[in-house]
């Protein structure tokens, strides 16, 4: 009789992993006394709004912006209330608007695409390659005279091929926004992500590497872009050079002041993020160590291919992604791993809606808009430029193929060495049976 230890758990055998799965909230699970102390300091100071409060207290949001700039290696950081807000601010600051097209990958959280529509521009959805980030070849194919910018999403913790993307942008005179929502602290060829393009957008939502529950940031090395983003995120009302008392000062240059919105970060979030930022490098080191341990243990299995990394040293280590031969095996493999006690999932199931996969973006594919006029798709500025973007759920077959064959296992920083070894054991066990 086959030993229970070798028999798959899905067939009645013993589980490979006997410890609980840890949720993927790297920074969130580290919330402790330091964050509590930082929040209580804000409340004790009674300084809750960054632009005015007790004169002897410095804004925690402002301090976080300065510290984040230093960490990322950029000149300017603007804290916002979400990454979606940061993306919209970046698009507006760059002058993206009616009549423009913006390239975005077909594998990213829907907000990357929705931000383009919010900025009154038209999304052009392109393929990802085997890194699951923008395919530079398809980017270049889909550039038109209407293309204004590229959103390079560093998806699932790894960098895009920024060397090629920046070369393409230079060739066609395009702007580049880095979406670093899932990759805070990652790098490309020794430079932190967010500082390679014209602007970068970050997320501090609870699932992200460091967190304040919600929150975001815009980064740039261009003072004018920073000021335009600052004006837009604050309705051009409170922020002005020289402080709030200068808020009614006239514009210093054409394009500095225009009606905006309220995307400001609050002081409590800023205080929490200052503490979380101190945890960032330690979280990254632990996730990278955990991922390396698992990869080393399972390398060389026939039928399993690791996701390609554009810069292995810049990977944040938040997730292990494996390519299997076809979607059917991927689905079976994922179910078998779940039975083994491992929180694995296949990354694209046509029957399960996923806001990260373009084929489920019904609002974009059907061009649904908030009003009947149908802008930006029917905007005369767009139509007069010959714009007529078309979408379909199968328009990016390479993307769907890669995702259909992808197996996803989160790598929380809080995993122990034993957790990693049991995950490796489970993968080897299922691979022996299915591949």
Question: Which residues in 234-264 are b (16+ Cβ under 10 Å) and which e?
Answer: bebebbbeeeeeeeeeeeeeeebbeebeebb
Query: Taking the alpha carbons of 209, 212, 216, 217 in that order, is the dihedral positive or negative?
Result: negative
Sheet holding 319-323, edge to edge: 305-306, 319-323, 406-410, 344-346
Q: Encoding tokens for residue 267?
A: 């002081």
Q: How far apart are CA 429 and CA 285, in angstroms?
A: 28
In the set 17, 175, 208, 429, the catalytic residue is 208
Count the neighbouring beta carbons within 10 Å of the beta carbon of residue 354.
18
- 185: left (phi > 0), else alpha (psi -120 to 50), else beta? left
199-203 vs 175-179, strand pairing mode: parallel
Q: Encoding tokens for residue 84?
A: 């979606």
Which residues have CB under 8 Å from 148's CB, separation 6+? 94, 95, 96, 100, 101, 102, 121, 174, 175
Q: Encoding tokens for residue 371?
A: 């009003």
Helix (H) or strand (E) holding 117: helix 111-118
Q: Find the distance separating the first CA and the last CA of the chain, reported in whole Å.
A: 22
Q: Encoding tokens for residue 115?
A: 């931000």
Establish whether 208 is a catalytic residue. yes
* Dihedral, 42, 44, 45, 46 alpha carbons, nearest 10: 80
Nearest to 242 by CA among 232, 252, 233: 252
Could you tell me if 66 and 204 are in contact, meaning their C-beta atoms sit under 8 angstroms apart?
no
Please list the active-site residues: 208
């Amino acid at each position: 009789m086959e030993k229970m230890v070798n028999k798959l758990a899905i067939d009645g055998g013993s589980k490979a992993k006997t410890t609980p799965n840890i949720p993927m909230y790297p920074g969130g699970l580290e919330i402790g006394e330091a964050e509590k102390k930082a929040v209580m300091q804000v409340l004790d100071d009674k300084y809750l709004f960054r632009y005015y409060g007790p004169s002897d207290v410095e804004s925690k949001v402002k301090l976080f912006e300065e510290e984040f700039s230093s960490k990322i290696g950029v000149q300017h950081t603007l804290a916002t209330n979400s990454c979606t807000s940061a993306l919209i601010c970046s698009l507006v600051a760059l002058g993206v608007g009616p009549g423009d097209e913006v390239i975005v990958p077909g594998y990213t959280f829907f907000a990357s695409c929705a931000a383009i529509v919010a900025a009154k521009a038209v999304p052009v959805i392109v393929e990802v390659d085997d890194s699951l980030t923008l395919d530079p070849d398809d980017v270049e194919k889909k550039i038109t005279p209407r293309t204004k910018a590229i959103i390079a999403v560093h998806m699932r913790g790894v960098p895009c091929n920024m060397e090629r993307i920046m070369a393409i942008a230079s060739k066609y005179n395009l702007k580049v926004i880095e979406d670093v929502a899932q990759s805070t602290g990652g790098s490309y060829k020794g430079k932190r992500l967010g500082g390679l393009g014209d602007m970068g957008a970050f997320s501090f939502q609870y699932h992200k590497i460091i967190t304040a529950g919600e929150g975001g940031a815009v980064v740039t090395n261009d003072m004018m872009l920073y000021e335009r983003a600052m004006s837009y995120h604050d309705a051009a009302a409170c922020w002005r050079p020289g402080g709030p008392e200068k808020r009614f000062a006239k514009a210093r240059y054409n394009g500095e002041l225009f009606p905006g919105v309220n995307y400001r970060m609050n002081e409590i979030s800023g205080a929490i993020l200052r503490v979380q930022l101190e945890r960032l490098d330690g979280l990254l080191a632990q996730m990278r160590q955990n991922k390396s341990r698992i990869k080393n243990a399972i390398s060389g299995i026939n039928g399993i291919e690791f996701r390609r990394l554009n810069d292995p040293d810049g990977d944040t280590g938040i997730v292990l992604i494996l390519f299997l031969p076809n979607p059917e095996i991927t689905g079976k493999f994922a179910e078998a791993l779940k039975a083994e006690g491992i929180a694995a999932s296949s990354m694209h199931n046509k029957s399960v809606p996923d806001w990260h996969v373009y084929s489920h973006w019904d609002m974009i594919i059907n061009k649904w808009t908030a009003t009947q006029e149908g802008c930006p798709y029917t905007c005369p500025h767009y139509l007069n430029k010959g714009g007529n973007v078309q979408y379909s759920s199968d328009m990016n077959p390479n993307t769907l193929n890669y995702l259909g064959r992808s197996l996803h296992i989160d790598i929380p920083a809080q995993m122990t060495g034993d957790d990693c070894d049991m995950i490796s054991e489970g993968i080897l066990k299922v691979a022996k049976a299915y591949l």
